[in-house]
Amino acid sequence: MVNNFYSWQMTELKADFQLVEKPKPELNDNEVLVKVAGCGVCHTDLSFWYFGVPTKHPLPLTLGHEISGTVVQGPSEWLNKKVIIPAVLPCGECELCKSGRSNICQKQLMPGNDFDGGFASHIKVPFKNLCIVGDDVIAKYPLEHLAVIADAVSTPYQVIVKSGLKQNDFAIVIGVGGVGIYAALIAKIFGAKVLALDIDDNKLDIAKQNGIDATLNIKELGIKDIKNAVKGISKELGVSQYMWKIFEMSGTKAGQELGFAQLSFASTLSIVGFTLDKLEVRLSNLMAFDAIMLGTWGCKPELYPDVVNLVASGKLNIEHFIETFPLSKINEVFRNTLEHKYTKRSILVPD
């Protein structure tokens, strides 16, 4: 390595990432340079790399939007700050931002989509929305582990807030992988009774070991059987038969079909997982059940301090659900992630 600035670039669909040396970036007045501590591997990255979802910035591009690091250049008040870079960086001035919907700002910038992301030694970003991490959090977790807050933790936090989940509600989480497990844990912190549905016993065991009330392996079950099983579990847990909160986290057609099938009177279905697949549903169910179906995109930066506080307070433990790899192993990690070989969220750490 000739210098300390490098990244792993995506050059074409399904191809190996290429190591590229880079010059030291020049900063605008509103930017800082962050030395990357860790960058999580997200299903969205797989969608860009393998499934043909187009990035807004043309290739070659450095992916990665789940980033933590240390500010090493910029205004003096930012130097040496430990930060989490939100996966969505809004403008803060438009109609959507001023209406509290900054996560879908149409002028937003997303690392690893609109500009070079975090699978690199350094990243330059606007400092306006950075979330500063205090010493109390650093005392509990290495900075690279906190990368998951940028998306895997903050995204389910936002959708749980958005769903109106409250004490003693029944929360059904479909898919408890790298993001879904945090949805289940946060729902539990909010006081809900939580049921985790998945096709992987290992993931369900992890959920159960961390306080989730009930689990169900749905791999060999049809939708009708699942509905009957869920109804039985709800009665065992002593929750209301109405106003269920359903969170689809798997990003699969089957998961979305199941989520819609679970809708009942006054229930809310939140779609978090992403897939290009289409499905056929009877939308009149929403009318008949007076139900709600909502989407979510990332997390608005205003909520990040709340998420960090959950981690700092010890209410939310992130350590059991992550594993780190050297950034130089990026091609191996992406292939293994594609083949579902990991049960935890992968974080790539610059060598």
pLDDT at 144 over 80: yes
Band (3; pLDDT cuts 50, 70, 90): low
| Cα angle, residue 326 at apex, residues 320 and 328 outer, rounded to 5° | 150
Average pLDDT over residues 159-167: 97
Give the percent of the chain with pLDDT over 70: 99
- Average the pLDDT over 264-270 and give the result: 97
Assess whether pLDDT exceeds 60 at residue 125: yes
| Residue 194 φ/ψ, nearest 5 degrees | -115, 130
Q: Which of the four pLDDT bands, split at 50, 70 and 90, describes residue 279?
A: very high
- Is there a contact between 43 and 273 (Cβ–Cβ < 8 Å)? yes
What is the pLDDT averaged over residues 254-264?
A: 96
> Domain ranges in the chain?
6-151+299-349, 155-295
| Mean pLDDT along residues 321-335 | 97
Mean pLDDT of 322-338: 97
Please give the average per-residue pLDDT across 284-302, as a whole number.
96
CA–CA gap between residue 106 and residue 26 (Å, rounded):
26
Mean pLDDT of the chain: 95
Domain 6-151+299-349 has CATH 3.90.180.10: yes
71-91 pLDDT, tens digit per residue, is 999 999 999 999 999 999 999
Residue 53: pLDDT over 80:
yes
Position 1 pLDDT exceeds 60: no
Class for domain 155-295, per CATH? Answer: alpha beta
Per-residue pLDDT, 2: 41
The predicted pLDDT at position 10 comes to 98
- Across residues 149-168, what is the average pLDDT? 97
d(CA 326, CA 349): 5
Cα–Cα distance for residue pair 179/294, rounded to 1 Å:
18
Under the banding of pLDDT at 50, 70 and 90, the label for residue 275 is confident
> How far apart (Å, rounded) are the C-alpha atoms in residues 124 and 145?
20
pLDDT in tens, 205-243: 999 999 999 999 999 999 999 999 999 999 999 999 999
